[in-house]
Chains A and B, each alone.
Chain A
Amino acid sequence: MRDTDEQPIDGRRQFLKCMAWAGAGTLWLMNGGVLSAKPLTSAGSAAAADATFSFVQISDSHIGFHKAPNMDVAATLRASLAMVNAQSTRPDFLLHTGDLTHLSRPEEFDTLTGLMQDAHPSKVFYVPGEHDVIGDNGAEFFRRFGERQQNGGWYSFDHRGVHFVGLINVLNLKAGGLGSLGSDQLAWLKKDLASLSADTPLVVFAHMPLWSLYPQWGWGTDDGDEAVSYMRRFGSVSVLNGHIHQIQQKVEGTITFYTARSTAYPQPAPGVGPGPGPMKDVAPSDLHRHLGIRDVRHVQGNHLLAITDEVMS
């Protein structure tokens, strides 16, 4: 690591500077029912002026984690939130797609709550990650961050013509399985979407990827295909997930799946290395190399062209 001979303070400052860059959120712009992703920098602001509205996705803040490559995950979350507030066009709300905390500890939830409050976002919608439901099946998470629409914690809402759905796929997990939605949630989802016209833009968010991204590492949802089958008749569907601490994208007809970066630390690409733990040997100055630049994809829907820009910096 190049920074080892620097003074600790300078090294740390440099480290945080890089991590702030690496841990930024994603600015989502909605324009005519088409969602596009922009890097959360000043460059994103110009495009935001033309959008119907925008919102920001942040994910995997893992408050409580304190090891390489990030000894201060609170600082990197704070830096990400500062970038949200630096936008010239204020996002309508934030989505946090789970793993707020590392170990579901009350003091970790307290820290997360304090950091979010300090940033004064207009509104934050949360879904839990598996790290947020340890030991109590998410009772503490739902008490603090739940939308209290349904007993299971899942919910939906409409915002300026777009239908948003928050799903829970980190509870009641089975030995040898992946993420799970369960029959109750699927029945609710089917009903929730049934009354919508096919030209309603959908944004569905959950912690674990809804598609089988890399099942060997648990990156998928056992009954995700069933949920996705309810969405196929819609002209514009965006599925936003976290969990894997890196950007991955898949386009399937009118449905685009995205995973978001973590505000805390990167994880390896699918199948690279022995397991999906933190990439602890990554030098701060090398982080961008692991995040990569992805293709811009065009999806011809029934009535509209969905252009999905991958996040990059």
Chain B
Amino acid sequence: MSVLRILQTLALSAALSATAPLAFAANTTSVAPAKSYAVDIRNFAFSPRTLTVPAGARVVWTNRDDEPHVVTSAGGQFTMSKALDTSDSYAVTFTHAGTYGYFCSIHPMMVGTIIVQ
């Protein structure tokens, strides 16, 4: 299951990498492929708790706990994940600069921040 998900993620990343430069070719001449950044969910905490990424970055959360978690934007800035069981991942691509606070909707003391520059 997790292997399949990783393959899907990789496939999707590859697709994004291949299409992103084409899609933005009209606007700029030097667009780097979307890079992935990992956030681990472990022991009821997001790690790193604050992550700074460039605009266009893809952030992938992976649940390493035996408890499910749900990645939820505090301000409704991005779509919330489904219930992530052990080893499940969820990815969001951040295209706009800003500060994105998020939490686990079923364990709300778990909070994290993505800073997009």
Contact = CB atoms under 8 A, between A and B. Distances in A.
A65 to B, nearest CB: 8
A103 B83 contact: yes
A67 B86 contact: yes
A120 interface: no
A114 interface: no
A216 interface: yes
Contacts of B67: 276-278
Interface in B83-117: 83, 85-86, 101-103, 105-111
Interface string B29-49: 000000000000001110000
A101 to B, nearest CB: 10
B47 to A, nearest CB: 12
A277 B86 CA distance: 12
How big is chain B's contact interface, by range? 20 to 34
B37 to A, nearest CB: 21
A312 B106 CA distance: 30
Given A103-B68, A134-B83, A277 B107 contact: no
B66 A277 contact: yes
A263 to B, nearest CB: 17
Nearest to A173: B108
Given A134-B106, A174-B108, A178-B109, A277 B82 contact: no
Nearest to A131: B106
Interface of A is mostly: loop
Interface in A110-163: 130-131, 133-135
B108 A176 contact: yes
A174 B102 CA distance: 10
A278 B107 CA distance: 15
A133 B105 CA distance: 10
A217 B109 CA distance: 7
Given A67-B66, A175-B74, A275 B106 contact: no
A265 to B, nearest CB: 9
A275 B44 contact: yes
Contact of B44 (A134, A215, A277): A277
Please give me the 7 A-B residue pairs with the lowest Cβ-Cβ distance, nearest first: A175-B103, A275-B43, A275-B44, A274-B43, A130-B106, A173-B108, A175-B74
Interface of B: 43-45, 65-68, 70, 72, 74, 82-83, 85-86, 101-103, 105-111
Interface of A: 67, 102-104, 130-131, 133-135, 170, 173-178, 215-218, 274-278, 280
Given A130-B107, A177-B109, A274-B43, 4 more contacts: A176-B108, A275-B65, A277-B44, A277-B66
